[in-house]
Structure 1
Amino acid sequence: MDAITKTDDPTEGQTLQKIEAYLRGVQADDEVVIRNTHGGILTFEIAKVTGTKPSSGRLYTDLSGGYGGCAWYMKSGKNTYYPGGQSQLFIPTDAIREFMNEHPTGMWTYKTYSPE
């Protein structure tokens, strides 16, 4: 598994403002991306929105990611059960889908070196 550099991350450039605008506009059956960074590995999952509750600023998905449950904040994309966790919602893009196809088991988020 290769190590990732900052420019390899397909979520690069997705600002909190863009994410919030997208998440506030989703409806049931729309897609969102769950970005997980557990154990130094970057992975993505495509999740379906199962419902929204704009009055509380939350949306719900069919998947929970690596941490927390299936409820997410629209403002930040963070999980409502574990907002400090390593799972967050992002906008589904072609770059993310391409990354998922090229790295189905994820990619290291740091470089490792073996002693010579």
Structure 2
Amino acid sequence: MGVGHIDLDRIRAEGSEPSERVLDEPAAGLNATESAALNQLLLSIRDETGIGVLLIEHDMSVVMGISDHIVVLDYGRKIADGSALEVRSDPAVIRAYLGEAEDELERTRWIGAAA
């Protein structure tokens, strides 16, 4: 079916209904090239259909690359809410996902995913 198992033709055929889609881990198991293709696919769904996407995802390159608004959960508790720029530099997010004594190179790579 293609990247992330998303059927863009079916979404287009459905027209204006529904106005949102929920995608749970669409990038699971994808390599970097496939994740980039998924980003392009999701952006084209948004641009061509106007359908909003609620994305549940751990791949930060996907999340930061396509999201207008991000809510970050840590063990079911909301720790951040805002734009990619706001979320990627939030101390609670950095602590939760990179640890207190995070390696500076890893932190820079992760934060740079939204740049």
* Higher normalized helix content (fraction of residues): 2
Query: Same-fold call, TM > 0.5?
Result: no
Question: Normalization by structure 1: what TM-score?
Answer: 0.25
- Which structure has greater strand proportion? 1
Q: Compute the TM-score of the two structures, normalised by the length of structure 2.
A: 0.25
